[in-house]
């Protein structure tokens, strides 16, 4: 089973995933995600480093082939910059008998959906989703896609904006977007949404600075059509009108 745990809070985990976790004999995934899973019963936790996705996938498949009930977990949705792709790469290139395993992918609430719901409806019209990580794709390709998305008027949900190993990429991405979009376009830094340390910063492209993001942050780039509705004592609502675009 390949499961998405949702963005953080247990109430944002689907009942299907919760039931599957209770069945599992083995949990496989990035250590901190595995630690977050409270189980009604015991299971063996195989935590690993974030960068070891293929080794982790192969390990999970070997356990499943040996008859274990394995839950491979990701945060958010497992199909969004997470373990599901690594699992299918491992199946395609691995032991042919793995193709006969009973593999099921169960959806989760991806960070972009939790972030959008927290803000209002910033992704209510056409939008695109990019990872700023250049671990698995060349940085010039990231820039090319950002340029294309900005040129086409998409709102953007940017995953993996920064990490300790990638400190400068977000600053360069924001610089590129300033060449294509007005400085007034809303930008949101939404950190650790639905977790105790949740933080939301709403700013503009002109003012946005990469210091406002860390590994737990999703960066939303609005469009010229994005609207803000001020509210007393709270962050403004941010939404995309239905008729966006020109």
Contact residues for ligand SAH (CB under 6 A)? 7-8, 74-77, 80-82, 110-111, 115, 159-161, 190-195, 215-218
Looking at the Cβ atoms of 191 and 212, the one nearer to ligand SAH is 191
Least distance in angstroms from the C-beta of 141 to ligand SAH: 18
Looking at the Cβ atoms of 7 and 181, the one nearer to ligand SAH is 7
Using CB atoms, what's the residue nearest to ligand SAH? 76
Looking at the Cβ atoms of 100 and 136, the one nearer to ligand SAH is 136
Q: Across 31-135, where does the E strand assignment appear?
A: 44-48, 70-74, 105-106, 120-121, 127-131
Least distance in angstroms from the C-beta of 229 to ligand SAH: 22
Looking at the Cβ atoms of 90 and 162, the one nearer to ligand SAH is 162
Buried b (16+ CB within 10 A) or exposed e, 39-55: eeeebeebeeeeeebee
Q: Report the residue count for the chain.
A: 246
CA nearest 245: which of 139, 177, 152, 141?
Answer: 152
Within 66-138, residue ranges assigned H as helices are 83-93, 111-119
Name, in order, each residue with C-beta under 8 angstroms of 106's C-beta and a sequence gap of 6 or more: 1, 2, 3, 4, 14, 16, 17, 20, 78
Looking at the Cβ atoms of 74 and 210, the one nearer to ligand SAH is 74
Least distance in angstroms from the C-beta of 59 to ligand SAH: 19
Look-up of token digits 């949404």: 193
CA distance linking residue 210 with residue 198, whole number of Å:
17
Q: What is the DSSP letter of 10?
A: G
Looking at the Cβ atoms of 33 and 239, the one nearer to ligand SAH is 33
Least distance in angstroms from the C-beta of 220 to ligand SAH: 10
Least distance in angstroms from the C-beta of 13 to ligand SAH: 12
Least distance in angstroms from the C-beta of 94 to ligand SAH: 22
Q: Distance of CA 160 to CAs 51, 93, 142, 189, Å?
A: 13, 27, 12, 12
Q: Distance of CA 94 to CAs 54, 75, 84, 100, 107, Å?
A: 11, 25, 15, 12, 24
Residue 219, token pair as written in the block: 């960066």
Least distance in angstroms from the C-beta of 8 to ligand SAH: 5
Looking at the Cβ atoms of 160 and 212, the one nearer to ligand SAH is 160
């Amino acid at each position: 089973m390949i499961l998405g745990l949702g963005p953080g809070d247990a109430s944002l985990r689907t009942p299907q995933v919760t039931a599957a976790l209770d069945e599992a004999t083995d949990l496989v995934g990035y250590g901190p995600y595995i630690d977050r899973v409270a189980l009604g019963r015991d299971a063996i936790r195989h935590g690993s480093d974030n960068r070891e996705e293929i080794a982790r996938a192969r390990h999970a498949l070997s356990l499943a082939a040996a008859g274990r009930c394995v839950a491979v977990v990701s945060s958010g949705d497992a199909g969004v910059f997470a373990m599901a792709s690594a699992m299918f790469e491992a199946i395609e290139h691995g032991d042919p008998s793995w193709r006969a395993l009973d593999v099921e992918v169960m959806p989760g609430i991806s960070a972009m959906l939790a972030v959008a719901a927290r803000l209002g409806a910033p992704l209510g019209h056409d939008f695109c989703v990019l990872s700023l990580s250049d671990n698995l794709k060349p940085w010039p390709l990231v820039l090319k896609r950002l340029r294309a998305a900005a040129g086409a008027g998409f709102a953007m949900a940017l995953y993996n904006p920064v990490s300790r190993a990638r400190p400068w990429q977000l600053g360069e991405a924001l610089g590129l977007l300033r060449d294509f979009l007005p400085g007034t376009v809303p930008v949101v830094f939404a950190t650790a949404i639905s977790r105790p340390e949740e933080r939301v910063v709403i700013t503009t492209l002109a003012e946005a600075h990469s210091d406002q993001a860390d590994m737990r942050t999703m960066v939303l780039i609005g469009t010229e059509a994005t609207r803000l509705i001020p509210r007393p004592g709270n962050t403004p609502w941010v939404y995309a009108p239905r008729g966006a675009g020109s």
